[in-house]
Amino acid sequence: MLNALAANLHIIAALYGAIYLLAAICAVREVMASRTSQGSIGWLTSLAFLPFPTAFIYLVFGWKHFDDYARTQLNLRLSRPIRSEELQVIDRDTGKQWPVLLHTSGAPFLAGNQPQLLVDGQATFDAIFAGIAAAQSYVLVQFYTIRDDRLGRQLADCLIERARAGVEVWVLYDDIGSQGLPRAYRERLRDEGIQVAGFNQRHKFLRFLGPMRVNYRNHRKVVLIDGKVAFTGGLNVGVEYLGEEKRFGPRWRDTHLRLEGPAALSFALIFREDWQWATGEEITLPAADALETVGDSPALVMATGPADRIESCAIAFTDIISQARERLWVVSPYFVPDTDVRTALYAAAMRGVDVRVMLPEKPDHLLVWLASNAHADDMVKHGISIYRYTAGFLHQKVLLMDDRIVSVGSVNFDNRSFAINFEITVWMTAPTTIASVEAMLLADFANCRQIDSEEVATRSSLQRFIHQAARLFSPVL
C-alpha cells in the first residue's frame, strides 16, 4: 500500500512539474511576443499563481504562432510579377495623400474602379448570386460563417452550377465561425469538383475534436469573380443576415460592397495567401485579361491580421481618426476600442470634429455588448455622439472621414479585429462614393436614438458595475 501511495505521489509530482514547466514556457513566450504590457501582465500573473489551468488556456487563447503565414505571404508577394497593366492603374497621387495606408496595407491605391453599396442581405446576395452565375473562369468564396440553411444551400447550388459548367471554384470558411457546418454540405461541394477548406484545418496544434486555436479567426468575407468583380463587407452566409431570425426582428442592418475594376484583383492575392495557409497548396489562377478601368473611384484593399509584422489595422484606423477635421462617423456592431483608439477619438472631439458612433440597440453577443456600453458611456462623457440603431440589429462596419475617405469591410472597432482576427477593408476616396456612404448613414441615423449625458448619469450602480466588469475582458472580446 505504501509503495502504491509513493508511486501515485511520484506521478502527481511529475504532473505538477510538467504543468509548471509548461507555464514557464508560456511565460517566456508571452514576454518575447508581448505587444501590450496590460495583457501580458495579466497572463504572467495568472501563469505564476494559477498555472493550472492558465497554461492550457494560454495555449488556446494566447499562443500566437503565424510565422509560417508570414512566410507564405512574403513568398507569394515576391514571386508575383507586377504587370505593366497594373503599374498603369496605380494611383500615385491618391497614395501620396495616405502614406500610412500604403505602408500598413503593403498595397497601392488602384484607379478606375466602380464601387456599389449593397444595403442589407437581400440586395447583397442577389448581387453575389448574379455575379457567380456570370462567372466564366473562376470563383473564390470566403466567409467567416457559412450555414447549412436556405441561404447556404442556395449558395451551394449556384457554385455547383458553375462548377458543372467548367468554372473553377474554391471555398474557404473559418472553423470557429462555421463550426456547425455539416460534413455533408462540404462533401456535396467536393463531389462536384469544388475545392473546400477550413482556415485552420491543417494546423492541428492542440486539436482534438475540432480547431483549438479559437482566438485567431479568419473574419474576412470575400467573393471574387474572374478577378474582375469582388464582394466584401459585413455579411456572412445565413438566413439571419436576411432578417429571418426572430430574436433580431425583420431587419438585419448590414452593408456589403460590390467592387468592379482593377482593385478587384487584389482579393485574389489575399485569398491565395489564406488558402495556402489553410491547405499548404498554392492556387494557380487563370491569367486575367488586361486590367480595364470601369469607373472613377480609387480603391485600396487592405488585408490585416495577427501575422502582420506591425499592428497594421490599429495603425491605419488610428491614423484616419487623427486626420479628421470636420466629421468622423463610425458604424460598428462591436465597439470595444483600446487605449490608443479611445485617445484618438477623444482628441478628435476636442478638435471640434463631429464624431459619431453608431451601435446596435440590441445585443447578439451579450458580453461584448455590455463592454461596449461601458466604452460608449465614456464616449458621451468626452463629447462624442453615441447613436443606438433601433430598427433592427446593426452589423455593418463602415467609416466616413470628412469628405476625404470612406471604408467598408469586415473590421469591427474592437481589439479582436484590430489585433487578433484576419480582416479586410476597402478604402475609397471618390466624391461620388463618399456621397453615397453619407446618404446611407444619414438614413441610418434617422433610425437611431442618441444617448445623452443625462441617460448615462442616471444608470444604476448595478448597471455600471456590470458594464465595467465586462469591460475588463476588452483585450480578448
**Residues with a known catalytic role:** 219, 221, 226, 395, 397, 402
State the SS3 of the chain. Answer: CHHHHHHHHHHHHHHHHHHHHHHHHHHHHHHHHCCCHHHHHHHHHHHHHCHHHHHHHHHHHCCCCCHHHHHHHHHHHHHCCCCHHHHHHECHHHHHHCHHHHHHHCCCCEEEEEEEEEEHHHHHHHHHHHHHHCCCCEEEEEECCECCCHHHHHHHHHHHHHHHCCCEEEEEECCCCCCCCCHHHHHHHHHCCCEEEECCCCCCCCCCCCCCCCCCCECCCEEEECCCEEEEECCCECHHHHCCCHHHCCCEECEEEEEECHHHHHHHHHHHHHHHHHHCCCCCCCCCCCCCCCCCEEEEEEEECCCCCCCHHHHHHHHHHHHCCCEEEEECCCEECCHHHHHHHHHHHHCCCEEEEEEECCCCCHHHHHHHHHHHHHHHHCCCEEEEECCCEECCCEEEECCCEEEEECCCEEHHHHHHCEEEEEEECCHHHHHHHHHHHHHHHCCEEEECHHHHHCCCHHHHHHHHHHHCCHHHC
